[in-house]
Structure 1
Amino acid sequence: MSDVSGKWDCVTKSPLGELKTVLTVVVDGNTFTGSNSGAQGSMDITDGKVDGNTLTWTMDMKVPMPMVLECNATIDGETLTGGVKAGAFGTSPMSGTRAA
């Protein structure tokens, strides 16, 4: 199992443009907590699950409109790839690298 814990510098290509965030992952067995912070503010991770090097979680977005985001990411060494599903807006691709 790879080490998925830590901070990840991420870019999500959303309908609002590229959103840069820092994803913080704190693993505890098969679950994790943390946050995703950027220019729009910070969102806590809820229902975080770890399956090998794959993460799934949700976040309760407030800005620019309230909605639950469904997220997934696969960690491969120092890189992260995944997506953020924002209801009717579909899934936006997300990529990132481990923060220094």
Structure 2
Amino acid sequence: MSADGKWKVTINTPMGAQTVNVDIATSGDTFTGKTESPMGSQDVSGKVDGDKLTWSSNITNPMPMTLEFEATVSGDTMTGNVKLGAFGNAPLKGERIG
């Protein structure tokens, strides 16, 4: 499994669908990357375990919270879940775009 590349990820939050572009570069059991969305860009890093990726992201908009991501990559698709702090969970889906 290789998650390397550019991804378009949609998170179905209680405030509606949010789209984030993610650029991922794996190295062994870790990865680094960058997210870009209408709310800004952020460097990210996380863990790789087989076909699963996990990482967290601190956001300030619409309010400060830590998002915890867990995603499974299968070919050119990604599915998973985002823990939205005290606001529960939101499913995510992604597709490789480059």
Q: Given that residues 84 and 91 in structure 1 are in contact (C-alpha distance below 8 angstroms), is that contact kept between their aligned partners in structure 2?
A: yes
Moved over 3 A (4+): none
**Counterpart amino acid of residue 94 in structure 1:** L
- How many Å separate the matches in 1 of 2:67 and 2:34? 13
3-state SS of the aligned residue for 2:86?
helix
What is the match of residue 66 of structure 1?
Answer: 64
What is the match of residue 3 of structure 1?
Answer: 2
What is the match of residue 74 of structure 2?
Answer: 76
Q: Structure 1: give runs of 5+ residues left out of the alignment.
A: none
Alpha-carbon distance, 1:25 to partner: 1.0
Paired residues, number: 98
Matches within 5 A, 1:34-73: 34-46=33-45, 48-73=46-71
* TM-score normalised by structure 2 residue count: 0.93
Alpha-carbon distance, 1:24 to partner: 1.4
Given the alignment, which residue of 74, 95, 98 partners 2:96? 98
Q: Given that residues 10 and 94 in structure 1 are in contact (C-alpha distance below 8 angstroms), is that contact kept between their aligned partners in structure 2?
A: yes
- How many Å separate the matches in 2 of 1:93 and 1:30? 24
* TM-score normalised by structure 1 residue count: 0.91
Q: Structure 2: give runs of 5+ residues left out of the alignment.
A: none
- How many Å separate the matches in 2 of 1:41 and 1:15? 20
